[in-house]
């Protein structure tokens, strides 16, 4: 996961110089090769190295998909496309436990590498059919320092950096949940493995449905006012999980599903604002947002394994910490009089301005 985060950070500026299509094709090909190699190794050390290399191709596909969206769409249409991308992104962890269990039962663990290699090969063929979305005249000229200039400017823009961290904070408890949820449902509550896979899939499905509901209900509300809604929902999830999350699996399911919904909803919503607020350097914008998202997620995965009294309590604490940091950063944003162009209008108004 850390390797994927770093690759996301570095490959964005590369695509601002060399375009989107060629790096995407190269990295997808690298992913196919390393994934197939993972299926046939017999040494765990080599497997770990290949997994690190595999993550580079995965990170490229993720950051480039966002850059393509920024190149091709704007305003309210861009937000809708980002929501679709977010839903597609949820399908991976939603289907993975069920599909993985089926593949292992039929053909063993090596099939869990062969299957994504086949899917990635199909994606590679589709990538070859794409048109380049970054014309030569809009690419970054010069060497490495010029490539990284856009990233440097973003990192030196307090409003952009603070808001980016804000919209990524709830990925900390979410990735922690993916890391320890099997221990919670199977080990703590005694749920059977098949039932656990269905519960995990249902959690993500409920989060996606709530995301669509929130987007529909808040479509005409000024974006700045929605920030408090995410704080209330996140805080409710943390406190409810802390108080009653350990009583039964279905109670924990309901409490944590709210946090999942916040995480799924806030990312495309925030990315739309950040993209509308910064013109140019689409690769750098996409890279910084996705890097922060996965870096914070990696931290959550590590924190989830601390010696908590139980994993439910640990996740509840992580949700509360994320909510508190979210509130703190929003206070810093307001007191520092920071501004983002895409933050002070509805989706339709932003679309008209652009």
**pLDDT, tens digit, for every residue of 19-36?**
888 888 999 999 999 999
Q: Per-residue pLDDT averaged across 121-129, rounded?
A: 93
Residues 313-351: tens digit of each pLDDT: 999 999 999 999 999 999 999 998 888 877 776 544 444
Name the residue with higher pLDDT: 285 or 188. 188
Q: What is the pLDDT of residue 11?
A: 79
d(CA 163, CA 173): 18
- The CA-based angle 346-296-118, given to 5 degrees, is 90
What percent of the chain is predicted at pLDDT more than 90?
41
The pair of structure tokens assigned to 46 is 């080599």
Cβ atoms of 176 and 166 within 8 Å: the answer is no
Name the segment(s) of the chain with CATH classification 1.20.1250.20.
Answer: 1-129, 148-335
Give me the helix-helix angle, 2-18 and 282-303, nearest 10°.
180
Q: Which CATH number fits domain 1-129: 3.40.50.261, 1.20.140.10, 1.20.1250.20, 1.10.599.10?
A: 1.20.1250.20
Question: Cα dihedral sign for 235, 240, 241, 242?
Answer: positive
Q: What is the pLDDT of residue 217?
A: 79
Which residue do the tokens 């990233």 mark? 151
Cβ atoms of 310 and 187 within 8 Å: the answer is no
Whole-model pTM: value is 0.78
Cβ atoms of 265 and 215 within 8 Å: the answer is yes
Q: Report, in angstroms and rounded to the nearest whole number, the Rg of the chain calculated over CA atoms.
A: 20
Residues 55-95: tens digit of each pLDDT: 988 888 877 887 788 788 877 788 778 777 777 776 676 67
Q: What is the pLDDT of residue 57?
A: 87
Q: What is the pLDDT of residue 279?
A: 66
Share the mean pLDDT of the chain. Answer: 85
Residues in the chain: 354
Q: Per-residue pLDDT averaged across 201-212, rounded?
A: 81
CATH class entry, domain 148-335? mainly alpha
Which residue do the tokens 């409710």 mark? 236
Name the residue with higher pLDDT: 136 or 21. 21
334, 289, 327: which is closest to 151 by C-alpha? 289
Cβ atoms of 268 and 282 within 8 Å: the answer is no
Cβ atoms of 315 and 304 within 8 Å: the answer is yes
Count CB atoms within 10 A of the CB of residue 77: 14
């Amino acid at each position: 996961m850390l390797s994927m985060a770093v690759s996301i950070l570095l490959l964005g500026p590369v695509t601002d110089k060399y375009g989107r299509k060629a790096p995407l094709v190269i990295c997808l090909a690298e992913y196919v090769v390393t994934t197939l190699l993972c299926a046939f190794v017999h040494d765990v050390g080599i497997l770990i190295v290949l997994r690190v290399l595999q993550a580079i191709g995965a990170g490229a596909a993720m950051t480039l998909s966002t850059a393509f969206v920024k190149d091709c769409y704007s305003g309210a249409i861009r937000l809708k496309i980002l929501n679709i991308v977010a839903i597609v992104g949820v399908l991976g962890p939603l289907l993975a436990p069920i599909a993985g269990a089926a593949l292992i039962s039929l053909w063993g663990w090596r099939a869990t590498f062969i299957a994504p290699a086949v899917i990635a090969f199909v994606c590679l063929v589709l990538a070859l059919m794409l048109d380049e979305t970054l014309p030569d005249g809009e690419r970054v000229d010069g060497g490495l320092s010029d490539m990284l200039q856009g990233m440097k400017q973003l990192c030196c823009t307090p409003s952009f950096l603070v808001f980016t961290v804000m919209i990524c904070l709830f990925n900390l408890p979410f990735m922690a949940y993916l890391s320890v949820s099997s221990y919670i449902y199977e080990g703590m509550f005694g749920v059977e493995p098949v039932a656990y896979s269905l519960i995990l899939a249902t959690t993500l499905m409920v989060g996606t449905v709530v995301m669509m509901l929130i987007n529909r209900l808040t479509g005409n509300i000024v974006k700045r006012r929605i920030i408090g809604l995410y704080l209330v929902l996140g805080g409710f999830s943390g406190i409810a999980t802390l108080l009653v999350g350990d009583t039964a699996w279905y109670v924990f399911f309901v409490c944590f599903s709210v946090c999942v919904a916040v995480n799924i909803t806030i990312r495309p919503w925030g990315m739309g604002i950040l993209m509308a607020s910064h013109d140019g350097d689409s690769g750098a914008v996409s890279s910084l947002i996705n890097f922060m998202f996965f870096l914070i997620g990696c931290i959550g995965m590590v924190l989830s394994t601390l010696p908590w009294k139980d994993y439910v309590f640990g996740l509840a604490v992580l949700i509360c910490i994320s909510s508190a940091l979210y509130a703190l950063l929003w206070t810093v944003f307001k007191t520092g009089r920071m501004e983002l162009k895409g933050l002070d209008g509805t989706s339709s108004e932003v679309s008209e301005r652009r």
